[in-house]
Amino acid sequence: MTDSAITIQRVGECLARVCQAHPSTGQDHVLHPDASLLAELYGTMIYSRTGEIRLAAIDESIRAALERWKPI
């Protein structure tokens, strides 16, 4: 993740980290709230065939989840 953009690969890494730390739960396989936010961004990027997205274009709650789960 740069200061201005993030790649789909990095979003996937963040999503994998949160899912590893907090696996889905219950019969409906409910995702952790951060995993849900990141999965939405990841899916949108796949659908639109976007390899990178500007951070300014991402909702603040998703940017916060990215920051919490970025690889160290």
Is pLDDT of 12 > 90?
Answer: yes
Which tens digits make up the pLDDT trace of 53-70? 999 999 999 999 999 999
- Segment 21-50 shows an average pLDDT of 95
10 Å Cβ neighbour count for 41? Answer: 23
Q: Where are the domains of the chain?
A: 5-69
Distance CA(59)–CA(72), nearest Å, equals: 22
Distance CA(38)–CA(44), nearest Å, equals: 10
pLDDT of 72: 78
pTM assigned to the model:
0.89
Which tens digits make up the pLDDT trace of 31-44? 999 999 999 999 99
